Amino acid sequence: MIEIHYPEEQKIFCPVCGIMIFSFGEEGQLNAELVMNDCSHLQFLGTNDSKEIDKNDWYAQHEYSVDDLDFLDYLKKTLGDDYVCFIQCSGAPAMLCGYIIFKFTEGRKMDVPFVGDVI
């Protein structure tokens, strides 16, 4: 799994199809609305304490694993390099980390047309 540490409270878009997957709302807004969207590349959206989207049931697999690893270390050990994890962590006192994981399969036609494709 490839990790990308991303600034806290920044919007995250799918690198392939461009859909905004996660946002805390507009910067500087009080009581900003949390936005979560799905796309075919998204595999997991959650934290080290919970899940919102978990298409592969990784959170439950981690809870039932015999390894004494935290969730991120479990994912690093389990997932290959066709998975990319965007990590956003908040500072003290919360110390909460969010994970947004996409899967990209080389050689597979994605659900987005190539710029040179005729539609």
pTM: 0.75
Q: Look up the domain containing 7 and give its range.
A: 2-103
In a domain, 35, yes or no: yes
In a domain, 108, yes or no: no
In a domain, 117, yes or no: no
DSSP β-bridge partners for residue 15: none
Q: Given the DSSP bridges, would you call strands 42-47 and 12-13 parallel, antiparallel or unpaired?
A: unpaired
Q: How many domains is the chain partitioned into structurally?
A: 1
Higher pLDDT, 54 or 112: 54
Task: Note every long-range contact of 64-71, with CB atoms under 8 Å and residues 24 or more positions apart, other chains counting.
Answer: 71/99
pLDDT per residue as tens digits for the range 12-57: 899 889 999 988 766 555 556 778 889 999 999 988 788 899 999 9
Distance linking the first and last C-alpha atoms of the chain = 33
Q: How far is 43 from 56, CA to CA, in rounded Å?
A: 7
In a domain, 119, yes or no: no
In a domain, 113, yes or no: no
